[in-house]
Amino acid sequence: MVYGPDGSLPWAASHAMVPTPFLLNDQTIRVFVTFCDKKGIGRPGYVDVSVHDPLKVLGVSNQPLLEPGIPGTFDENGLLTCSVTDLGDGKMYMYYVGFELGTKIRYRLLTGLAISLDGGNSFKRYKPTPVLERSSAELYFRGGPYCLYLAHRFCLWYVAGSKWRYLDGKAMPEYDIRYAESDDGIHWPSVGEVQIPVTQIDEYGFGRPCVIPKSSGGFRIFYSVRSLSMGSYRLGYAESADGHNWNRMDEKLNLDVTPDSFDSHAIMYAAPIEICGKLYVFYNGNDFGRAGFAVALLEAE
């Protein structure tokens, strides 16, 4: 475990969800996370840790990077940071998921954009509506965004879907991992290319995908898998030569739940960062990161 809120800040009473590591400078990894207040409303913040020892906390944001949207907007019930893309000269794009509660369905998850001009110390919404708006092909869910800026193109892996299924009387969303490209990171197609579909009989959805280039060429993708038998998330992993065609290797990740610990019945939202030849993976455990977030170190391929 790296960090969990102590409840001293009203806006950060619990959770440190969806850790998203970002190399801030040669001494600091800034891990963007979402904290929750006592009502469960999420607001983004960050935890700075040492490059040399990611278990050493250097600082924590004392105020939210963004507040929930105004009433009637797609993020009025909180937001969840999923990706931060560095564009140079202190400019960053933060892609986040907004929660919009429904009446005939439980909720919608759509993707918004916030922009920083000061190196990630503050952010401002690009607009009060989503940059990944619902479409006829992706009706309820266009979330979990993870964006890389590659060869002057914005490359986005995300989860999307238009279905619900009932499990023990509770409606649960179904979505797969998709891909889209943009010239400016703002305007995106209305439907993405399905890259990792739900194909196994025991699974029905994925959590935020996270992509990182391999030093030997190609790409790695880390994601979460919702399964029927487990009743909660487990981690998944795949590799690709081109970033489009993926070979699932979930068992190769070898990172699972730990008995009698913060991740005793669920493990999710893995996000990698490679520094000085070491590959770290930040992740959450039970109850979507209620206790905070942890880090693992790759010991062998």
Q: State which residues form the domain around 78.
A: 10-297
Q: What's 53's DSSP letter?
A: -
Domain membership of residue 3 (yes or no) is no
CB–CB of 250/227 below 8 Å?
no
Residue 211 has a pLDDT of: 97
Average pLDDT over residues 264-268: 95
Among 85, 89, 95, which Cα is nearest to 119's?
89
Residue 129 covered by a domain: yes
Domain presence at residue 241: yes
Rounded to an integer, what distance in angstroms lies between the CA atom of residue 203 and that of residue 226?
Answer: 6
Mean pLDDT calculated for residue range 275-301: 94
d(CA 160, CA 148): 18
| pLDDT tens digits, 163-219 | 998 888 888 888 999 999 999 999 999 999 999 998 888 888 899 999 999 988 999
Which of these, 274, 269, 248, lies nearest to 97 by C-alpha position?
A: 269
The number of folded domains in the chain is 1
In a domain, 1, yes or no: no
Position 231 confidence tier, pLDDT thresholds 50, 70, 90: confident
Q: Considering the domain boundaries, does residue 111 fall inside one?
A: yes
Of 25-29, 48-52, 100-104, 209-213, the least confident: 100-104
* CATH code of the domain in which 32 resides: 2.115.10.20
> What gap in Å lies between CA 182 and CA 188, rounded to an integer?
6
Q: Is the dihedral of CA 248, 86, 45, 61 positive or negative?
A: positive
